[in-house]
Amino acid sequence: MRFSLRKLLVAALACGAAGSLQAQPPWSGQTFLPDYSLLKAIPTKHGQDYVFLDQSFDPKSINGQVMIDQPEVLISPGSPYGGAKPDDLKAIAEFVRGRVGAQLTARGYQVVDAKGDGVIYLRIGITDLKLKNKRTPILAYTPVGFVLHTAVKAMEAFLQKMDITNVELQGEWLDASSGRQVAEGVATRGESVPGGAGKKMSYRDFETTIDDLGARFACRMDNARVAQEQRIDCSDSQARQARAPIPLH
């Protein structure tokens, strides 16, 4: 099935419900997105999204395929601990990419590794990451050549050495064929997910947080393919769970 890229991105990024806007945006000093001044606040039931869509972009139809680049990890200047081993950052990045991909796949989208006509290229920034060192140097030792073969095991191993007290996701959407930016956005964590207010997140807390953000993206893509009256507030997890699958074809 072929459908409008513009309609998909508008609905994917701008599904909202009544709510109050945050006084200050959450990206002060961040550099992942090309131009934060373009973002506009979109209130939702749980959390706050910020969105930009290039209105001058003349979209072609898309084919339901998404390329997900390896996420970038940006540690917050306000993090209690400001460093991390490369393998630990890779563990976070691959875990997030896998969970976001799983949410898209669950809604019928296909995650691919090759660009082409109609493919969306998604850049993800794991931003405002705050870490706290558990001060266990023996547990933190990484043997030369040691590799954990699954993202889950790598993430669990990381959380044995470090606490995560905050995380946000940012995204940039590109036309995979031309590389032209179509949209960008910042999705904040909603009140319904754990790990807020500087409290450390367990593995399950972190997984739930990332799954919620990935599910919101997939939900907004779904909204583009139904009539206005069938669209839901994608920050509402109960509404997402109650929604029947929407066939791509």
Q: What is the pTM of this model?
A: 0.80
Q: Helices (DSSP H) in the chain: which residue ranges?
A: 5-14, 86-106, 151-161, 203-223, 237-242
Q: Could you give the percent of the chain with pLDDT greater than 90?
A: 20
C-alpha to C-alpha distance for 190 and 235, rounded to whole angstroms = 7
Q: Per the domain annotation, does 243 fall within a domain?
A: no
How far apart are the C-alpha atoms of 118 and 68, rounded to whole Å?
Answer: 14
What is the per-residue pLDDT for 109? 85
* Predicted local distance difference test score (pLDDT) of residue 215: 86
Confidence class of residue 249 from pLDDT cuts 50, 70 and 90?
Answer: low
- Predicted local distance difference test score (pLDDT) of residue 192: 47
Question: Which residues contact residue 21 at a Cβ distance below 8 angstroms, ignoring those fewer than 6 apart?
Answer: 41, 43, 48
Q: Which residue has the higher pLDDT, 190 or 168?
A: 168
Specify the higher pLDDT residue, 124 or 173: 124
List the domain range (segments joined by +) for residue 98. 3-20+31-237
Is 248 part of a structural domain of the chain? no
Query: Torsion-angle region of residue 178: left (phi > 0), alpha (psi -120 to 50) or beta?
Result: alpha
Token pair for residue 89? 């950052």
pLDDT at 185: 81
Across the chain, mean pLDDT equals 78
Beta strands at 120-133 and 48-53: parallel, antiparallel or unpaired: unpaired
Residue 236 burial (CB count, 10 A): 18
Neighbours of 194 (CB within 10 A): 14
pLDDT, position 16: 41
Q: Is residue 247 part of a domain?
A: no
Is residue 14 in some structural domain? Answer: yes
Question: How many domains is the chain partitioned into structurally?
Answer: 1
Instruction: Report the pLDDT value the prediction gives residue 197, as an integer from 0 to 100.
Output: 53
- The string of pLDDT tens digits covering residues 10-33 is 545 544 433 334 435 667 677 899
Query: pLDDT at residue 193 above 70?
Result: no
pLDDT band of residue 248 (cuts 50, 70, 90) is: low
Residue 48 has pLDDT above 60, yes or no: yes
Helices 5-14 + 203-223 axis angle, to 10: 140
State how beta strands 40-43 and 61-62 pair.
Answer: unpaired
Whether residue 26 is contained in a domain is answered as no
Band (pLDDT 50/70/90 cuts) for residue 223 is confident
What confidence score (pLDDT) does residue 17 get? 37
Question: Using one digit for the tens of pLDDT, what is the confidence trace for 79-101?
Answer: 998 998 888 899 999 999 999 99
3-state DSSP helix/strand/coil % of the chain, to nearest 5: 30, 25, 45
pLDDT at 71: 95
The whole-number pLDDT of residue 68 equals: 95
Q: Is residue 42 assigned to a domain?
A: yes
pLDDT at 125: 93
- Highest averaged pLDDT of the listed ranges 39-53, 133-147, 150-164: 150-164
Kindly report which listed range (74-83, 84-93, 100-109, 178-187) carries the lowest average pLDDT score. Answer: 178-187
The amino acid present at 82, given as its one-letter code, is G
Please say whether the beta carbons of 65 and 109 come within 8 A. yes
Q: Is 51 helix (H, G, I), strand (E, B) or coil?
A: strand
